[in-house]
Structure 1
């Protein structure tokens, strides 16, 4: 009976030791990485690929972060970013000069930013964190990025600028054109009411007066301004006896 109890105790000890060896590391040395399931961005904008992690060990210089990308159309995954004590940005490929390190390992942050997002960036992004001796747990996490064309939006300030640079100048030009159309008409009316002293009108030619006007004698100035044909006709009429009262002789 005692031997049976001793045998059971030994078996229990072996089982407990096995559990400690196999299961304990998963609780003591473990790491967990978290990323959003989905992210959305507008074409030409900047999007932050968020990645956080928790580790039972304090991050050291041996900690590493890797970001990889799998196209939406499928294909092999490619690693485009690596961090180990410092950030190693992409030197070739579609992410060249478009990645910024935003992480802070001491705070459990391994995020990056994608600049000038394009429709070709649609796909799955994987964040992997290693922090030895934490080698168990969930060191990887995935997020799906969807980039859409930028929507056209008009703000109130944009409308104000359009009004200032288009509507107001157009209104000013319209007022100027209306003014130019009215001014010549006004001047034309004034020219009709103020005739020149030497202007010859119908009924006044050759000294003939309107019925309600006074007789105005011809002057040297008037004779000088006559055309040659008019002057010849004037002298012929002067030689003939005047039968009308509408002629005036020059006294030059």
Structure 2
């Protein structure tokens, strides 16, 4: 009876050790990879594809990182970057010469950068990290990249050129127009005060002021004799020699 109890106790101890070891191994054999869900950039930008991981095991030479790309139009993912002790950038395809390794495995970083982004780079990027003995958990993570056309920017030099060739001539023309609107008034006022020598009346050029001719009144015309009246009408028919001559209104 005692032998049976001893035998059953030994079996239970073995099962307990196995359960604990399997449970402990499940705790340590986990890895988690994190990437941003979405990234937005403009055409021509340098994009940082961030990827971080946590592992219960210290990264060794056996650790590896793979980046794959699935186009926005669909299709199977294609691996374009690999890291294992050192970086292996793509040697062909659309990412040739445009991928740089920025990761640091000792700090749990497996990031890369994409240089000179294009509209054809739109799609889903997957970061996969393997660090044996961590083989469970979430070794992959996804990022959706959206590249849009770059908006045109106005530089300071462009603004200076516009000011020099558009605003400056407009300002000069405006000043000229305002000057022409104001100058004729001044010239008109001066023309009123200035009299040409030709316009000087007879006698004024010698300093002689002729007395103003007295115009006969209606009563005086009535009292004229016939000879004076005939001479008056004869003078009346002649063209006036003086611009100040005014015909009688009788």
When normalised by structure 1's length, the TM-score is 0.60
Contact 1:61–1:84 at 8 Å: present in 2 too?
yes
Distance 1:47 1:195, change over 3 A: farther
Match of 2:203 in 1: 214
- RMSD between aligned residues: 4.0
Q: Render the CA deviation track for 1:9-43: whole Å, top value 9, x for unaligned.
A: 3432443454356544332343222222x113132
Give 3-state SS (helix, strand or coil) of 1:169's partner. helix
Structure 2 distance, partners of 1:189, 1:89, is: 85
Distance 1:16 1:145, change over 3 A: farther
Aligned pair count reads 203
Structure 2 distance, partners of 1:146, 1:175, is: 50
Deviating above 4 A after TM superposition, structure 1's stretches of 4 or more consecutive aligned residues are 20-23, 148-154, 186-197
Match of 1:103 in 2: 103
Contact 1:26–1:137 at 8 Å: present in 2 too?
no
Instruction: Structure 1 unaligned segments of length 5 or more: list them.
Output: 218-243, 247-252
Match of 1:237 in 2: none
Distance 1:245 1:151, change over 3 A: closer
Match of 2:134 in 1: 134
When normalised by structure 2's length, the TM-score is 0.61
Contact 2:39–2:143 at 8 Å: present in 1 too?
no
Query: 5 Å matches for 1:78-97?
Result: 78-97=78-97
Match of 1:220 in 2: none
Q: Render the CA deviation track for 1:130-173: whole Å, top value 9, x for unaligned.
A: 2234333332222223344557899xx98xx58x8378536523
Contact 2:122–2:145 at 8 Å: present in 1 too?
yes
Distance 1:73 1:16, change over 3 A: farther
Match of 1:40 in 2: 39
Instruction: Structure 2 unaligned segments of length 5 or more: list them.
Output: 207-239, 243-250
Structure 2 distance, partners of 1:245, 1:148, is: 92
Match of 2:8 in 1: 8
Give 3-state SS (helix, strand or coil) of 1:146's partner. strand
TM-superposed deviation, 1:3: 4.2
- Structure with higher Rg: it is 2
